A and B are shown apart, each in its own frame.
Chain A
Amino acid sequence: MPIPQPFLDELQAVVIRALGAGATVSPSGPGRARVGPAAGGYSVLVPELVAIGGRLGALVATDRRGLGEGLLLEALILFDTAGALVEVSEPFPGPGATLRSITARVPAAHWQEREVAEMFGLELVLHPDAGRRLLHEHTPPGDHPLLRDRDAAQRLEFAAASPPAFRQVRGEGVHEIPVGPIHAGIIEPGHFRFFVLGERILHLDIRLGYQHKGTEKLFEGKPLGLGVHLAERISGDTTFGHALAYCQAVESLCKVSIPARAVWLRALALELERLANHVGDLGALCGDIGYAFGASHFSRLRGEFLNKSELVSGNRYLRGLCCLGGVRFDLEDAMARELERWLPRVRVDFEEVADIALEADSVAARFEGVGTLSPRAVRDLGIVGPAARASGVALDVRADFKCEPYRDLGFSPVLEPSGDVMSRARVRFREAQASLEMMVRLLASMPRGATRAPLSTPAPFAMGIGHVEGWRGEILTCAMAGPDGQLWRVRTRDPSVQNWLGLAQAVEMNLVSDFPLCNKSFNLSYSGSDL
């Protein structure tokens, strides 16, 4: 979809106002435009773009010192109503240079600015919370893993620890509850520092990074095809979403057009993944409040979706299905017929369970009015996915960016108004319904033909972008290839990166004992944000 001309004109005016007369906006692909690189391209222009309705998507830093340049910081700004993606960039001479934070004006930049600063050794100034977050106190101060001259095989040195910096909340009766990084359940590691007054949470400080495993560094120098397998492992519950975002990024880099049947099959798998996770989340929400009926029946239903994922791909988490240029396995007619027979049955079953569980008074008493996130916080923090839609903010890549096959089949995002745990549960319930409906339509309109297109050689140092509405929200993956045709840099922004701060906002002034419930209603990935 081309960008509408009036929007481009408005964009041009803003860019000239922010950067001076020399700066221009140039189209850089379908639905994409770029500005710069220019001094102030990040720190001056991004707040201006956000002010006219842009949303900060991903920050992508690259170390181009080997190409005779310095570091380049690119920001992907999304204009959801126009369906446009604008890339702006600002060059830096090298590590140690000063990065002026825009977090005070664009709170959505909060997490990724720190990430860029830590990974590339930029000195972050004016950031309200500048302590190290992803690299922990044991990492030596000069070690910046994503600089290209840092060998991936080199082990992280274990330096003497400086005490971790938490924001301090003081006052009579205020006390701290440290939770994690080791938890009692089988969940991922993260540290939550609660400042509470009795049972009420005054402030929550979230410290992640315990799962940092150098995923982005691992992509560097790998063949394009191998990257799919790595992308599948970014966050286990979003195997297909991440694989798809990566494949889209590489495919846009190679300018391949995907056969229609493959596009349809990918959408089918994406909806299947969404169903398994949304239904599983509903069960987990019930489990957290000790509601045994909901917990057991939703997890039984989740099993149904995982089994059908296995039918379609040979793997319960859809591993290995997505590949560059299309999908690896075609959907046989017998399978399609089995899915068609199964879909109405499972829908009745699911709706029956959900009607009982979400209508139960004791459940409503726990879900309603808890962990409320305001639409304003959603916009400021750049919250994405079901968490945004549960606060009434219409944000869904499937609808906003008119991508196939959703454009043809007609899709509108599911919205709930109140922003509490109940809203997030109901968004999941209704999105699961919509996904079931979508699967029926996908199967009915499935085109015939090839399922895979051959790849061409990627243009070196160009940026390919993958943009997918995963079950947890918008996944943005940027891929760049080197002159040797191997991966040069891959950056993935999992939806969790944007949403963690939303969780911290939502739990303020709630009860400590309601935190696990709020946390589950967001169900964010640690692995996806720690990379």
Chain B
Amino acid sequence: MTFALDIGFAAIHLALVLFWPLVLVGIVRRVKARLACRRGLPLLQELTDLLKLFRKGEVIPDTATWVFRLAPWGTWAASALVALMVPTFSWSVPLGAQADFILVIYLLGSSRFLRNLAALDTATAFAGLAASRESFVAALSEPAMVLSLWCAGWVAGTSRIPEMVWRFSEKAAAELSPVHPLILVALVIVAIAENARVPFDDPTTHLELTMIHEAALLEYSGPGLALMQWGAGLHLGLSLALIANLFFPIGLAAPAELGTVPLGLFSFMARTSVLAALLGVLESTMARLRFFRITDWLALSGAAAVLAVIRLVTVGR
């Protein structure tokens, strides 16, 4: 019976991590459209787009090698694997025992690494530029991410993300450590940067020379592009899930308790939707940063993480 429940939980989790991000992308776009006095696209437009792309043919540059073909699958798989480790509606996840934060960070890192390799593989000027810029952003955001998750782990007394979520959800808000807001600031900035959103990057631009993330995908078409876009969607979804569950762990379903599932689902969807809407508001009210000013924001994120570390080392949780 528990086994069947576990399978059921895993199935819900899987459906949620794979498809809910597509709705979140739709929510961000819808909020931006509404703030611009437009009606906006249907919430499931991203899904429609992906289905269309999967049915299309693919054009592969003459200069590309197997790296170019492998990258969409590799990046998608890495993001999907991480998605199995980050809690959604319940703190229990299919790969809970393996969900060490270092593994999570570097699986995401390898996904980015593959994408950059593929960009260089096409030997086009824009993709090369994109790879260099994305590495620049990643090199600055990664330390902040490692440090802040390390702090979260210290406070929770574990290095596994689902356990962190569980520990935090057990505590009342008042008991939470003062390092929490610091980690929140650091992680939010990192999440915006790594998902290539305004003010770091503009996902809607058509100007190749300003692109960071999109320029790496310029040579992709059809199913390859679909996987890349879906992978980016997964990344956004799990970033929002991580923030929602680490800092606002409300109404999480307990493992193997069927009755708590509806509330867990509702709470998760509501919390991530609110975060997506906030992202939409941020994107509407702010211009992009000048490329070399990206460092200011990432330095802020790094500083917040370092402060959290200092607090933990000197005072304790």
List chain A positions with a Cβ less than 8 A from chain B: 176-179, 183-185, 199, 286, 288-297, 300, 360, 362-363, 365-366, 370, 511-517
Q: Whole-angstrom distance between the alpha carbons of A516 and B129 in the complex?
A: 15
Q: Which residue of B lies closest to A360 (CB)?
A: B287
Q: Taking the complex as formed, is B291 at the interface, i.e. its CB lies under 8 A from any CB of chain A?
A: yes
CB distance from B286 to the nearest CB of A (A): 5
Q: Whole-angstrom distance between the alpha carbons of A362 and B283 in the complex?
A: 12
Q: Whole-angstrom distance between the alpha carbons of A513 and B285 in the complex?
A: 21
Contact A292 B35, beta carbon cutoff 8 Å: yes
Contact A363 B287, beta carbon cutoff 8 Å: yes
CB distance from B224 to the nearest CB of A (A): 18
B172-198 CB mask vs A (1 if < 8 Å, else 0) is: 000000000000000000000000001
Given A177-B129, A293-B36, A512-B129: A288 in contact with B290 (beta carbons within 8 A) = no
B window 123-172: CB within 8 A of A: 125-126, 129, 133
Spot the interface stretch: B64-72, B93-101, B199-207, B252-260.
Answer: B199-207
9 interchain residue pairs of minimum CB distance: A296-B36, A290-B202, A291-B287, A290-B288, A362-B287, A185-B206, A289-B287, A516-B207, A177-B125
**In the complex, what residues of B have CB within 8 A of residue A511's CB?**
290-292
**In the complex, what residues of A have CB within 8 A of residue B287's CB?**
286, 289-291, 294, 360, 362-363, 365-366
Contact B207 A366, beta carbon cutoff 8 Å: no
Given contacts A292-B283, A365-B287, A517-B210, 8 further A-B contacts (CB under 8 A): A179-B209, A184-B207, A286-B287, A288-B205, A296-B38, A297-B36, A365-B293, A513-B133
Contact A184 B206, beta carbon cutoff 8 Å: yes
Q: Whole-angstrom distance between the alpha carbons of A288 and B205 in the complex?
A: 7
Contact B290 A365, beta carbon cutoff 8 Å: yes
Q: Taking the complex as formed, is B284 at the interface, i.e. its CB lies under 8 A from any CB of chain A?
A: yes
**In the complex, what residues of B have CB within 8 A of residue A179's CB?**
125, 208-209
Q: Whole-angstrom distance between the alpha carbons of A192 and B291 in the complex?
A: 20
B window 248-297: CB within 8 A of A: 283-293
Contact A366 B291, beta carbon cutoff 8 Å: no
Q: Taking the complex as formed, is B37 at the interface, i.e. its CB lies under 8 A from any CB of chain A?
A: yes
Contact B288 A289, beta carbon cutoff 8 Å: yes
CB distance from B209 to the nearest CB of A (A): 5
Q: Whole-angstrom distance between the alpha carbons of A366 and B293 in the complex?
A: 10
Contact A290 B209, beta carbon cutoff 8 Å: no
Contact A184 B290, beta carbon cutoff 8 Å: no
List chain B positions with a Cβ less than 8 A from chain A: 32, 35-38, 125-126, 129, 133, 198-199, 202, 204-210, 218, 283-293
CB distance from A357 to the nearest CB of B (A): 9
**In the complex, what residues of B have CB within 8 A of residue A515's CB?**
209
Contact A290 B36, beta carbon cutoff 8 Å: no
Q: Whole-angstrom distance between the alpha carbons of A308 and B285 in the complex?
A: 29
Q: Whole-angstrom distance between the alpha carbons of A295 and B286 in the complex?
A: 11
**In the complex, what residues of A have CB within 8 A of residue B283's CB?**
290, 292
**In the complex, what residues of B have CB within 8 A of residue A514's CB?**
290-291
Given A514-B290, A516-B209: A293 in contact with B125 (beta carbons within 8 A) = no
- For this complex, 9 residue pairs linking A to B, each with C-beta atoms less than 8 Å apart, are A184-B207, A288-B210, A291-B286, A293-B285, A296-B36, A360-B287, A362-B286, A366-B290, A513-B210
Q: Which residue of A lies closest to B291 (CB)?
A: A513
CB distance from B38 to the nearest CB of A (A): 7
Q: Whole-angstrom distance between the alpha carbons of A291 and B133 in the complex?
A: 21
**In the complex, what residues of B have CB within 8 A of residue A177's CB?**
125-126, 129, 209
**In the complex, what residues of A have CB within 8 A of residue B204's CB?**
290
Within 8 Å by CB of B288, from A184, A297, A366, lies A366
Q: Which residue of B lies closest to A287 (CB)?
A: B205
Q: Whole-angstrom distance between the alpha carbons of A300 and B81 in the complex?
A: 44
CB distance from A510 to the nearest CB of B (A): 10
CB distance from B158 to the nearest CB of A (A): 39
**In the complex, what residues of A have CB within 8 A of residue B286's CB?**
290-291, 360, 362
**In the complex, what residues of B have CB within 8 A of residue A296's CB?**
36-38
Q: Whole-angstrom distance between the alpha carbons of A176 and B198 in the complex?
A: 28
**In the complex, what residues of A have CB within 8 A of residue B32's CB?**
292
Within 8 Å by CB of B209, from A294, A297, A513, lies A513
Q: Whole-angstrom distance between the alpha carbons of A169 and B292 in the complex?
A: 24
CB distance from A62 to the nearest CB of B (A): 41
**In the complex, what residues of B have CB within 8 A of residue A184's CB?**
206-208, 218
Q: Whole-angstrom distance between the alpha carbons of A290 and B280 in the complex?
A: 12
Q: Whole-angstrom distance between the alpha carbons of A360 and B129 in the complex?
A: 29
Contact B208 A300, beta carbon cutoff 8 Å: no
**In the complex, what residues of A have CB within 8 A of residue B284's CB?**
292-293
Contact A199 B292, beta carbon cutoff 8 Å: yes
Contact B35 A512, beta carbon cutoff 8 Å: no
Contact B37 A185, beta carbon cutoff 8 Å: no
Q: Whole-angstrom distance between the alpha carbons of A18 and B290 in the complex?
A: 51
Q: Whole-angstrom distance between the alpha carbons of A516 and B205 in the complex?
A: 11
**In the complex, what residues of A have CB within 8 A of residue B285's CB?**
292-293
**In the complex, what residues of A have CB within 8 A of residue B218's CB?**
184
Q: Whole-angstrom distance between the alpha carbons of A370 and B285 in the complex?
A: 21
CB distance from B197 to the nearest CB of A (A): 9
Q: Whole-angstrom distance between the alpha carbons of A231 and B209 in the complex?
A: 33
Contact A362 B289, beta carbon cutoff 8 Å: yes
CB distance from A335 to the nearest CB of B (A): 27
**In the complex, what residues of B have CB within 8 A of residue A291's CB?**
286-288
Q: Whole-angstrom distance between the alpha carbons of A278 and B286 in the complex?
A: 22
Q: Whole-angstrom distance between the alpha carbons of A513 and B292 in the complex?
A: 10
Q: Which residue of A lies closest to B288 (CB)?
A: A290
Q: Which residue of B lies closest to A180 (CB)?
A: B208
Q: Whole-angstrom distance between the alpha carbons of A515 and B208 in the complex?
A: 10
Q: Whole-angstrom distance between the alpha carbons of A365 and B126 in the complex?
A: 25
Q: Whole-angstrom distance between the alpha carbons of A522 and B292 in the complex?
A: 23
Q: Which residue of B lies closest to A294 (CB)?
A: B287
Q: Whole-angstrom distance between the alpha carbons of A286 and B204 in the complex?
A: 13
Q: Give the most central of B204, B210, B293: most A CB within 10 Å.
A: B210
Q: Whole-angstrom distance between the alpha carbons of A171 and B240 in the complex?
A: 45
Contact A300 B37, beta carbon cutoff 8 Å: yes
Q: Whole-angstrom distance between the alpha carbons of A366 and B199 in the complex?
A: 11
